[in-house]
Amino acid sequence: MVDVAVAQAQGPRDHMEDFVRFEQGFLGHEERLYVGVFDGHGGDAVSRAAASQFHKVLAAELDRGGSEREAIGRAFRTFDDSVAEETGGAVAAVVLLDKDAAWVANVGDVTVLLVSRHEERILTADHRLTNETEYARVKSAGAIVRFPYAFLPGGEGLMPTRSLGDREFRAIGILAVPEIASVRLSADDIWLVAGTDGVFDPLEPAAVARLARAATTARLAAERILKAALAAGDDNVSVVAIRR
């Protein structure tokens, strides 16, 4: 099995709205790993539910058949429907790792970074108004844009342009549809790091990659990244380090 560790801290915020879940030996396959990172807003109802239930929803969709990409897409739809009556929402990133194959899906601004021996690259999309495609969609749907938020006409605002929950924001183009990347990992790809905006807003990807490369275990990497993020930022912080 791969080496996996989680590090989390509430930081200076009044409440902790981040939740993380990982499952080694997912669906009975020794080398299959599931990771879910969920960052709530407007309360923790959706992020808490996602940490508790999303892996079960995904397992059921994988059992239905079809490709991993199709199953992940269905899982996002099914879970989002299940929290339609909840208050608030959550951004999310899900990683499914099976030997040297990885599928990464996200809505919102949770980031997954692939770290190789000499370079790093982000595998997730950033669903905020700074993304031109996302901006165009919510603007055309009638959102009132006041950076960095998209507002309902006469109502509340939201920073992410894709999320789970947030049902009232569907009217202005806020989607629960994930972007999904599939990656074939090489021997040089030694780390996957998943983190909330509490990690990747204050820290550049290169800085996160350096901390991971310098660590000998996933626990050390996660703890060092957490410490650096807390020193540089002011948010809830959650990081998952995966060492292959």
State the residue range of the domain holding 37.
3-243
The tens digit of pLDDT for each residue in 205-232 reads 999 999 999 999 999 999 999 999 999 9
Residue-by-residue pLDDT tens, the chain, 244 positions: 899 999 999 999 999 999 999 999 999 999 999 999 999 999 999 999 999 999 999 999 999 999 999 999 999 999 999 999 999 999 999 999 999 999 999 999 999 999 999 999 999 999 999 999 999 999 999 999 999 999 999 889 999 999 999 999 999 999 999 999 999 999 999 999 999 999 999 999 999 999 999 999 999 999 999 999 999 999 999 999 999 9
What pLDDT, on the 0 to 100 scale, is given for residue 72? 99
Retrieve residue 111's tokens: 């980031």
Nearest in space to 80 (alpha carbons), one of 156, 152, 179, 178: 178
Helices 205-213 and 218-232 sit at what angle, rounded to 10 degrees? 140
**CATH code, 146:** 3.60.40.10
d(CA 81, CA 15): 25
Helix ranges (DSSP H) in the chain: 45-64, 68-82, 132-140, 197-200, 205-213, 218-232
The tens digit of pLDDT for each residue in 188-202 reads 999 999 999 999 999
What pLDDT, on the 0 to 100 scale, is given for residue 154? 85
What pLDDT, on the 0 to 100 scale, is given for residue 106? 99
d(CA 33, CA 23): 6
What pLDDT, on the 0 to 100 scale, is given for residue 108? 98
Question: Could you give the number of structural domains in the chain?
Answer: 1
